[in-house]
């Protein structure tokens, strides 16, 4: 059995698009796994920072910092902690790092950091809304479709609450349904199987042509979504890398202060300059939004 001659390029295009999507998904998976490794390292550094600052545990360090925040700020952080921990183990681990990052920043500047506390408490919605969508892909690729659907739904609604839903998620019901049916999250397995049956059964050329055109259209759409998600994965990984870099420098500064190589005032001044995380994330998201015609992150 074979394709009608004029359908050969279309069939090749279907296979090419599918391979592109599979490659992109693998790269997203790798970035998610890289993020997990970074989080584990960051938690270790946070423990060191807490002890060097005179606290027995990271929890004590956080408690001391969060007392300087307003009750509503603390509530936002605590609510997000409960939600993401219940939602996904790795997201719970990641939020430990995020809380530690806030604690370090707050203790650097005390009550004067109230505005940064508000910004970080809001920023966590963007960070974890996107991270939930990315974790959904990871879970779906592993076959955990119920977990994927739960993560995707939570991530979408969290982003919608910010009124900053990425364009590629605005028509997400079809994606969610594919997850709930047990299909791979982005990879259009059904389309590929149908294309294979068309080839095997050697149906009429016209019908074959229409089906392959539809497969190409669907896969192009899925590849666009995959590329957008890959971009979001990279943004989140960069945010986490920057966060972890700040924590590592904080730990080193504590050692230098103890050794008499650095003063507390100079150390704190340097670290405050590094706390551009929120502004950097806003800049990237606004640039991304402008390029796609959406609103930026206010």
pLDDT value at residue 202: 45
pTM of the model: 0.67
Token pair in block for residue 291: 């390029």
pLDDT value at residue 74: 84
pLDDT value at residue 57: 92
pLDDT value at residue 31: 83
- Rounded Cα distance between 118 and 123, Å, is 8
Q: Give the CA count within 13 Å in the CB-facing half-sphere of 296.
A: 13
pLDDT value at residue 267: 79
Q: At what angle do helices 89-109 and 264-274 cross, to 10 degrees?
A: 130
pLDDT value at residue 80: 84
Q: What does each of the 298 residues of the chain score in pLDDT, given as a tens digit?
A: 444 556 667 777 777 877 787 787 788 888 888 888 888 888 998 999 899 889 999 999 989 888 888 788 788 888 888 888 888 888 888 888 888 888 887 777 654 444 555 566 667 777 788 888 788 777 777 777 777 778 877 877 777 666 555 554 544 445 444 444 444 444 433 344 344 444 444 445 566 667 667 767 767 766 766 777 777 777 777 777 777 777 788 888 888 888 888 888 887 777 777 766 656 666 666 666 555 544 344 4
- Rounded Cα distance between 55 and 61, Å, is 6
pLDDT value at residue 60: 92
Query: What is the widest separation between alpha-carbon atoms in the chain?
Result: 82
SS in 3 state form for the chain?
Answer: CCCCHHHHHHHHHHHHHHHHHHHHHHHHHHHHHHHHHHHHHHHHHHHHHHHHCCCCCHHHHHHHHHCCCCHHHHHHHHHHHHHHHHHCHHHHHHHHHHHHHHHHHHHHHHHHHHHHHHHHHHHHHHHHHHHHHHHHHHHHHCCCHHHHHHHHHHHHHHHHHCCCCCHHHCCCHHHHHHHHCCCCCCCCHHHHHHHHHHHHHCCCHHHHHHHHHHHHHHHHHHHHHHHHHHHHHHHHHHHHHHHHHHHHHHHHHHHHHHCCCCCHHHHHHHHHHHCCHHHHHHHHHHHHHHHHCCCCCC
Q: Do 35 and 240 meet the contact criterion of CB atoms below 8 Å apart?
A: yes
Domains of the chain, by residue range, sit at: 5-292
As a whole number of Å, the CA-based R_g of the chain is: 23
- Rounded Cα distance between 120 and 122, Å, is 5
């Amino acid at each position: 059995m074979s394709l009608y001659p004029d359908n050969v390029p279309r069939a090749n295009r279907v296979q090419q698009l599918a391979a592109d999507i599979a490659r992109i998904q693998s790269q997203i998976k790798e970035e998610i796994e890289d993020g997990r490794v970074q989080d584990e390292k960051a938690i270790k550094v946070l423990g060191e920072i807490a002890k060097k600052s005179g606290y027995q545990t990271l929890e004590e360090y956080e408690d001391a910092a969060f007392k300087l925040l307003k009750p509503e700020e603390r509530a936002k952080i605590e609510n997000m902690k409960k939600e993401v921990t219940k939602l996904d183990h790795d997201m719970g681990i990641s939020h430990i790092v995020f809380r530690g990052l806030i604690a370090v920043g707050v203790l650097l500047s005390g009550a004067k950091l109230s505005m940064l506390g508000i910004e970080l408490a809001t920023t966590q919605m963007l960070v974890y809304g996107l991270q939930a969508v990315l974790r959904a892909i990871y879970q779906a690729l592993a076959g955990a479709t119920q977990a994927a659907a739960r993560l995707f739904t939570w991530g979408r609604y969290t982003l919608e609450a910010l009124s900053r839903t990425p364009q590629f998620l605005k028509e997400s019901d079809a994606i969610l349904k594919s997850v709930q049916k047990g299909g791979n999250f982005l990879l259009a397995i059904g389309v590929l199987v149908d294309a294979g049956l068309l080839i095997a059964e050697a149906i009429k050329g016209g019908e074959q042509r229409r089906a392959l055109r539809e497969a190409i259209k669907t896969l192009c759409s899925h590849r666009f979504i995959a590329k957008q998600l890959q971009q979001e994965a990279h943004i989140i990984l960069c945010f986490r890398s920057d966060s972890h870099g700040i924590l590592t420098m904080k730990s080193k500064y504590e050692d230098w202060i103890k050794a008499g190589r650095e003063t507390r005032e100079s150390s704190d001044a340097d670290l405050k300059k590094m706390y551009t995380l929120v502004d950097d994330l806003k800049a990237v998201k606004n640039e991304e939004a402008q390029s796609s015609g959406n609103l930026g992150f206010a």
